Structure 1
Amino acid sequence: MTTLSSFPPRGILVPTSMIFNQQLPAAVLVTWIQLRALAWRGWSTPALSLAEMASILGIHPTRLEKHLYHLQHASALSLHATGSGKLILSFPTQPVVAPDEQPEPIHLDTVPPPLAQERHTLKPPSYFPHQILGYLTYDASQESLARQETPVSVSLESDEALLSLDRITTLCSQELI
């Protein structure tokens, strides 16, 4: 069984071509990193059975088989069976990624900046669903509806009440103008 001293003391270098390899699911990449750590003293792992490797990595042997298939298909490692039913995994010095699947580099100095008009016309996405955005927009016609006078029934019993009502109406009309 592999002991803690079999692991790299300072970690391993993960090539950029492996980190951004679109062929590999994230779980397969983690498996590759763990397997590469087992081979930290060189370019191949010690001879281990599939069950031993799965136990070290903490995954089921069937899942490890599937991950090994993905890694072989991506040319990230190769398998060598020993006569005793154990496997030796070999890693290339630099993992190969098919050139037709690598994205073209983008040079930011060749990308033109957006025009000033375009920047101002862009609206930020709203937190609110589009169904209720109509309720949240400002409508000037709704404000004019609020300013319309509504009939008020007031019973006036004295001239003093009539004066105060005229005063209130005058004050209100001055504030609205």
Structure 2
Amino acid sequence: MRVISGNHKGRQLKAVPGTSTRPTTDKVKEAVFQRIGPYFDGGSVLDLFAGSGSLGIEALSRGMESAIFVDKHPQAIHTIKHNLETLKLTGQAEVFRADAYRALKASAKRGLQFELILLDPPYSKFDYLKVIESILALNLIKKDGIIYCEHDPSEQLSMGDDRLQLLKQENYGGTIGISIYQMN
């Protein structure tokens, strides 16, 4: 696993040990960032189920100013911190061990809004609609901001909210599905 492009292009990232996380492949990461970037002129990113932090780190490498990484697993938090330290990105990032809903409420309480929100949760029985509804209700995504969802390829996410426009929905290799939404 590596950073695909930007200031840290080619740098290796440590994966979370064990099988509790499923890293986004370099091929998928490249395709996704070509669609949502490919580069950014500042802004902030929320990597909500961060795992190793690879998606949020890619966004920082491609020009995002700041990132918040959230995961509830201690090994993931340790890995994110290691990857940020290795790339000297700790000054641009905050890392929290928390449940997703608690992290969303804490972000709203701080008055934060994001240009990019990355959702790559464990696939089984995850309620994407509930999380996205919380993001919208708490006003956490800026106008024209992007919400990226990685999901089981058999799942077709369908947002019933006209504030979000579907930009792309695709399956990669029968193992990963992605849906990308933009805030109107």
Structures share fold, TM-score greater than 0.5: no
As a proportion of its length, which structure holds more strand?
2
Name the larger-Rg structure.
Answer: 1
TM-score normalised over the length of structure 2: 0.23
TM-score normalised over the length of structure 1: 0.24
